[in-house]
Protein backbone atom coordinates (compact mmCIF):
# COMPACT_ATOMS: atom_id res chain seq x y z
CA UNK A 1 0.00 0.00 0.00
CA UNK A 2 1.55 3.32 -1.12
CA UNK A 3 1.27 5.98 1.58
CA UNK A 4 2.18 9.66 1.05
CA UNK A 5 2.54 12.40 3.66
CA UNK A 6 0.84 15.81 3.51
CA UNK A 7 4.14 17.36 2.46
CA UNK A 8 4.55 14.80 -0.29
CA UNK A 9 1.05 15.39 -1.68
CA UNK A 10 1.64 19.14 -1.61
CA UNK A 11 4.83 18.70 -3.64
CA UNK A 12 3.18 16.31 -6.10
CA UNK A 13 0.20 18.65 -6.64
CA UNK A 14 2.20 21.87 -6.57
CA UNK A 15 0.21 23.49 -3.77
CA UNK A 16 0.86 24.41 -0.14
CA UNK A 17 0.52 21.94 2.73
CA UNK A 18 -2.24 24.16 4.17
CA UNK A 19 -4.23 23.73 0.93
CA UNK A 20 -3.85 19.95 1.07
CA UNK A 21 -5.06 19.94 4.68
CA UNK A 22 -8.09 22.06 3.77
CA UNK A 23 -8.98 19.72 0.91
CA UNK A 24 -8.57 16.71 3.19
CA UNK A 25 -10.65 18.15 6.03
CA UNK A 26 -13.39 19.13 3.57
CA UNK A 27 -13.43 15.60 2.12
CA UNK A 28 -12.38 16.78 -1.35
CA UNK A 29 -9.18 14.75 -1.14
CA UNK A 30 -9.50 11.45 0.72
CA UNK A 31 -7.12 10.83 3.60
CA UNK A 32 -6.85 8.76 6.76
CA UNK A 33 -5.21 9.53 10.07
CA UNK A 34 -2.56 7.61 11.94
CA UNK A 35 -2.84 6.74 15.62
CA UNK A 36 -0.94 9.97 16.29
CA UNK A 37 -3.50 11.98 14.31
CA UNK A 38 -1.35 12.72 11.23
CA UNK A 39 -3.01 12.92 7.81
CA UNK A 40 -1.81 10.29 5.35
CA UNK A 41 -2.87 9.77 1.74
CA UNK A 42 -3.11 6.64 -0.39
CA UNK A 43 -1.63 6.82 -3.86
CA UNK A 44 -4.88 5.64 -5.47
CA UNK A 45 -6.81 8.49 -3.81
CA UNK A 46 -4.33 11.09 -5.03
CA UNK A 47 -4.63 9.66 -8.54
CA UNK A 48 -8.42 9.77 -8.28
CA UNK A 49 -8.18 13.42 -7.20
CA UNK A 50 -6.07 14.08 -10.30
CA UNK A 51 -8.74 12.54 -12.50
CA UNK A 52 -6.90 9.27 -12.98
CA UNK A 53 -3.66 10.85 -14.18
CA UNK A 54 -0.52 8.87 -13.51
CA UNK A 55 2.18 10.34 -11.28
CA UNK A 56 5.74 10.07 -12.56
CA UNK A 57 7.58 7.37 -10.55
CA UNK A 58 10.55 9.62 -9.85
CA UNK A 59 8.24 12.35 -8.51
CA UNK A 60 6.38 9.93 -6.27
CA UNK A 61 9.53 8.31 -4.90
CA UNK A 62 10.99 11.69 -3.99
CA UNK A 63 8.09 12.55 -1.70
CA UNK A 64 6.63 9.26 -0.49
CA UNK A 65 8.63 9.04 2.70
CA UNK A 66 9.11 11.34 5.66
CA UNK A 67 12.54 12.52 6.76
CA UNK A 68 14.54 9.65 8.29
CA UNK A 69 14.82 9.44 12.05
CA UNK A 70 17.92 10.79 13.73
CA UNK A 71 20.13 8.82 16.14
CA UNK A 72 18.17 9.52 19.34
CA UNK A 73 14.82 9.16 17.58
CA UNK A 74 15.88 5.82 16.12
CA UNK A 75 16.90 4.68 19.60
CA UNK A 76 13.52 5.71 21.04
CA UNK A 77 11.76 3.92 18.15
CA UNK A 78 13.61 0.65 18.84
CA UNK A 79 13.19 0.87 22.61
CA UNK A 80 9.44 1.42 22.37
CA UNK A 81 8.90 -1.45 19.92
CA UNK A 82 10.95 -3.80 22.13
CA UNK A 83 9.01 -2.68 25.23
CA UNK A 84 12.25 -1.59 26.88
CA UNK A 85 10.83 0.75 29.52
CA UNK A 86 14.15 0.98 31.37
CA UNK A 87 15.82 2.02 28.15
CA UNK A 88 13.22 4.72 27.45
CA UNK A 89 13.63 6.15 30.96
CA UNK A 90 17.42 6.10 30.55
CA UNK A 91 17.12 7.85 27.18
CA UNK A 92 15.03 10.66 28.67
CA UNK A 93 17.52 10.98 31.55
CA UNK A 94 20.46 11.07 29.11
CA UNK A 95 18.88 13.86 27.07
CA UNK A 96 18.09 15.80 30.26
CA UNK A 97 21.75 15.49 31.32
CA UNK A 98 22.68 17.12 28.00
CA UNK A 99 20.67 20.13 29.14
CA UNK A 100 17.54 19.45 27.08
CA UNK A 101 14.18 20.30 28.63
CA UNK A 102 11.50 17.66 29.09
CA UNK A 103 9.39 19.43 26.49
CA UNK A 104 12.26 19.33 23.99
CA UNK A 105 12.91 15.62 24.61
CA UNK A 106 9.29 14.68 23.99
CA UNK A 107 8.83 17.08 21.05
CA UNK A 108 12.05 16.30 19.21
CA UNK A 109 12.93 12.71 20.20
CA UNK A 110 9.92 10.75 21.47
CA UNK A 111 7.16 12.25 19.31
CA UNK A 112 8.90 11.66 15.93
CA UNK A 113 9.68 8.06 16.94
CA UNK A 114 6.06 7.37 17.93
CA UNK A 115 4.83 9.11 14.79
CA UNK A 116 6.88 6.71 12.64
CA UNK A 117 5.41 3.79 14.57
CA UNK A 118 1.91 5.12 13.92
CA UNK A 119 2.70 5.59 10.23
CA UNK A 120 4.02 2.03 9.97
CA UNK A 121 0.85 0.72 11.62
CA UNK A 122 -1.28 2.69 9.15
CA UNK A 123 0.76 1.35 6.23
CA UNK A 124 0.34 -2.22 7.46
CA UNK A 125 4.01 -2.85 8.17
CA UNK A 126 3.37 -3.01 11.93
CA UNK A 127 0.54 -4.91 13.57
CA UNK A 128 -1.92 -3.42 16.01
CA UNK A 129 -0.32 -5.56 18.72
CA UNK A 130 3.11 -4.07 17.99
CA UNK A 131 1.72 -0.53 18.07
CA UNK A 132 0.08 -1.26 21.43
CA UNK A 133 3.37 -2.63 22.82
CA UNK A 134 5.14 0.60 21.87
CA UNK A 135 2.38 2.84 23.24
CA UNK A 136 2.16 0.99 26.55
CA UNK A 137 5.94 1.03 26.94
CA UNK A 138 5.87 4.81 26.58
CA UNK A 139 3.00 5.14 29.07
CA UNK A 140 4.96 3.13 31.63
CA UNK A 141 8.10 5.16 30.95
CA UNK A 142 6.20 8.41 31.55
CA UNK A 143 5.02 7.05 34.91
CA UNK A 144 8.59 6.05 35.79
CA UNK A 145 9.99 9.45 34.84
CA UNK A 146 7.49 11.41 36.97
CA UNK A 147 9.23 10.79 40.36
CA UNK A 148 12.50 12.00 38.82
CA UNK A 149 11.06 15.38 37.83
CA UNK A 150 12.63 18.19 39.83
CA UNK A 151 10.07 20.64 41.10
CA UNK A 152 11.08 24.31 40.91
CA UNK A 153 12.03 26.05 44.12
CA UNK A 154 9.42 28.75 43.63
CA UNK A 155 6.07 28.58 45.38
CA UNK A 156 3.34 26.10 44.56
CA UNK A 157 1.50 27.27 41.43
CA UNK A 158 -1.73 25.55 42.39
CA UNK A 159 -3.77 22.66 41.09
CA UNK A 160 -4.04 21.66 37.44
CA UNK A 161 -6.39 19.13 35.86
CA UNK A 162 -5.23 17.11 32.84
CA UNK A 163 -7.85 15.37 30.75
CA UNK A 164 -8.89 14.18 27.36
CA UNK A 165 -12.23 15.61 26.36
CA UNK A 166 -15.46 13.84 25.47
CA UNK A 167 -15.05 10.24 24.33
CA UNK A 168 -11.35 10.68 23.48
CA UNK A 169 -9.34 7.61 24.53
CA UNK A 170 -5.83 8.47 23.27
CA UNK A 171 -4.27 9.78 26.48
CA UNK A 172 -0.50 9.57 25.95
CA UNK A 173 -0.32 13.25 25.06
CA UNK A 174 -2.18 14.41 28.14
CA UNK A 175 0.01 12.18 30.33
CA UNK A 176 3.10 13.98 29.03
CA UNK A 177 1.37 17.32 29.62
CA UNK A 178 0.84 16.26 33.24
CA UNK A 179 4.54 15.52 33.56
CA UNK A 180 5.41 18.97 32.21
CA UNK A 181 2.96 20.64 34.60
CA UNK A 182 4.58 18.88 37.56
CA UNK A 183 7.98 20.12 36.39
CA UNK A 184 6.56 23.64 36.20
CA UNK A 185 5.35 23.61 39.81
CA UNK A 186 1.70 22.57 39.53
CA UNK A 187 -0.08 19.88 41.55
CA UNK A 188 -1.64 17.76 38.82
CA UNK A 189 -4.75 15.60 38.80
CA UNK A 190 -4.88 13.19 35.85
CA UNK A 191 -8.34 12.26 34.56
CA UNK A 192 -7.06 10.49 31.43
CA UNK A 193 -9.31 9.41 28.58
CA UNK A 194 -12.99 8.86 27.93
CA UNK A 195 -14.25 11.34 30.56
CA UNK A 196 -17.80 12.74 30.17
CA UNK A 197 -17.66 16.46 29.43
CA UNK A 198 -20.33 17.17 32.03
CA UNK A 199 -18.09 15.58 34.70
CA UNK A 200 -15.14 17.73 33.65
CA UNK A 201 -17.24 20.90 33.79
CA UNK A 202 -18.62 19.93 37.20
CA UNK A 203 -15.11 19.37 38.59
CA UNK A 204 -13.94 22.73 37.27
CA UNK A 205 -16.96 24.49 38.77
CA UNK A 206 -16.74 22.81 42.17
CA UNK A 207 -12.95 22.67 42.64
CA UNK A 208 -11.87 25.80 40.71
CA UNK A 209 -8.37 24.67 39.70
CA UNK A 210 -5.83 27.20 38.48
CA UNK A 211 -5.54 25.49 35.11
CA UNK A 212 -7.10 22.74 33.02
CA UNK A 213 -5.21 21.12 30.13
CA UNK A 214 -7.36 19.48 27.46
CA UNK A 215 -6.30 16.98 24.80
CA UNK A 216 -8.04 15.76 21.65
CA UNK A 217 -6.51 13.62 18.90
CA UNK A 218 -7.06 13.92 15.18
CA UNK A 219 -9.72 11.21 15.42
CA UNK A 220 -12.09 13.55 17.29
CA UNK A 221 -15.47 14.41 15.78
CA UNK A 222 -15.17 18.15 15.20
CA UNK A 223 -18.82 19.00 15.88
CA UNK A 224 -18.73 17.08 19.14
CA UNK A 225 -15.36 18.57 20.07
CA UNK A 226 -16.60 22.11 19.40
CA UNK A 227 -19.57 21.52 21.69
CA UNK A 228 -17.47 19.86 24.42
CA UNK A 229 -14.84 22.59 24.57
CA UNK A 230 -17.55 25.25 24.74
CA UNK A 231 -19.03 23.55 27.81
CA UNK A 232 -15.68 23.31 29.59
CA UNK A 233 -14.71 26.85 28.57
CA UNK A 234 -17.94 28.21 30.05
CA UNK A 235 -17.33 26.45 33.37
CA UNK A 236 -13.70 27.63 33.37
CA UNK A 237 -14.71 31.25 32.75
CA UNK A 238 -17.04 31.19 35.76
CA UNK A 239 -14.33 29.74 38.02
CA UNK A 240 -11.49 31.83 36.53
CA UNK A 241 -9.65 28.67 35.50
CA UNK A 242 -7.12 28.96 32.69
CA UNK A 243 -7.73 26.59 29.74
CA UNK A 244 -4.93 25.25 27.52
CA UNK A 245 -5.80 22.84 24.70
CA UNK A 246 -3.50 20.67 22.62
CA UNK A 247 -3.60 17.81 20.14
CA UNK A 248 -4.48 17.40 16.48
CA UNK A 249 -8.21 17.62 17.22
CA UNK A 250 -7.91 21.19 18.49
CA UNK A 251 -5.60 22.06 15.60
CA UNK A 252 -8.41 21.10 13.20
CA UNK A 253 -10.99 23.39 14.83
CA UNK A 254 -11.37 26.70 12.92
CA UNK A 255 -11.72 28.55 16.22
CA UNK A 256 -12.00 28.00 19.98
CA UNK A 257 -13.62 30.07 22.77
CA UNK A 258 -11.78 33.26 23.67
CA UNK A 259 -10.62 31.93 27.04
CA UNK A 260 -8.99 28.82 25.49
CA UNK A 261 -5.35 28.94 24.37
CA UNK A 262 -4.18 26.33 21.87
CA UNK A 263 -0.69 24.84 21.65
CA UNK A 264 0.76 22.50 19.04
CA UNK A 265 4.04 21.45 20.68
CA UNK A 266 5.03 20.95 24.30
CA UNK A 267 7.61 23.71 24.03
CA UNK A 268 4.78 26.08 23.10
CA UNK A 269 2.83 24.75 26.09
CA UNK A 270 5.72 25.61 28.43
CA UNK A 271 5.94 29.10 26.92
CA UNK A 272 2.23 29.61 27.63
CA UNK A 273 2.68 28.42 31.22
CA UNK A 274 5.46 30.94 31.75
CA UNK A 275 3.54 33.89 30.35
CA UNK A 276 2.54 36.40 33.03
CA UNK A 277 -1.15 36.14 33.94
CA UNK A 278 -3.45 38.57 35.69
- Give yes or no for residue 59 having a pLDDT over 70: no
* Domains of the chain listed by start with CATH number: 3-63 (1.10.1660.10), 71-148 (1.10.1240.10), 159-274 (3.40.50.280)
Q: Identify the three-state secondary structure at position 246.
A: strand
**CA 110 from centre of chain:** 11
Alpha helix segments (H runs only) across 146-221: 172-183, 197-207
Q: What is the pTM of this model?
A: 0.76
Contact criterion met (CB below 8 Å) for 167 and 200: no
Q: How far apart are CA 276 and CA 173, in angstroms?
A: 25
Contact criterion met (CB below 8 Å) for 58 and 11: no
Count, residues in the chain: 278
Q: Please write the tens of the pLDDT for every residue from 228-251.
A: 999 999 999 999 999 999 988 888
Provide the edge-to-edge strand list for the sheet that holds 260-263: 187-192, 159-164, 211-215, 242-246, 260-263
> 221 or 218: whose pLDDT is higher?
221
Average pLDDT, integer, range 38-45: 79
Q: How far apart are CA 233 and CA 125, in angstroms?
A: 41
Q: What angle do CA 187, 188, 193 make, to 5 degrees?
A: 175
pLDDT at 131: 92
- Give yes or no for residue 62 having a pLDDT over 50: no
Alpha helix segments (H runs only) across 14-70: 17-26, 43-49, 57-63
Closest CA to 146 of 202, 200, 188: 188
Indicate the helix (H) or strand (E) that contains 5. Answer: strand 3-5
Q: How far apart are CA 114 and CA 108, in angstroms?
A: 11
Amino acid sequence: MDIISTKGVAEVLGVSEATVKRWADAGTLKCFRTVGGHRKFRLRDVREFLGGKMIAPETLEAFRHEEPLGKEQTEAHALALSSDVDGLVALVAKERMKGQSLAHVFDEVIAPAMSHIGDAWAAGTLTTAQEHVASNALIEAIARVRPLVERPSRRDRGRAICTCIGDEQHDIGVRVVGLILSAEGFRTSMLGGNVPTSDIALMVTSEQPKLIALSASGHANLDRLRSDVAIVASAAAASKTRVLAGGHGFARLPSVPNNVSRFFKLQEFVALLREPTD
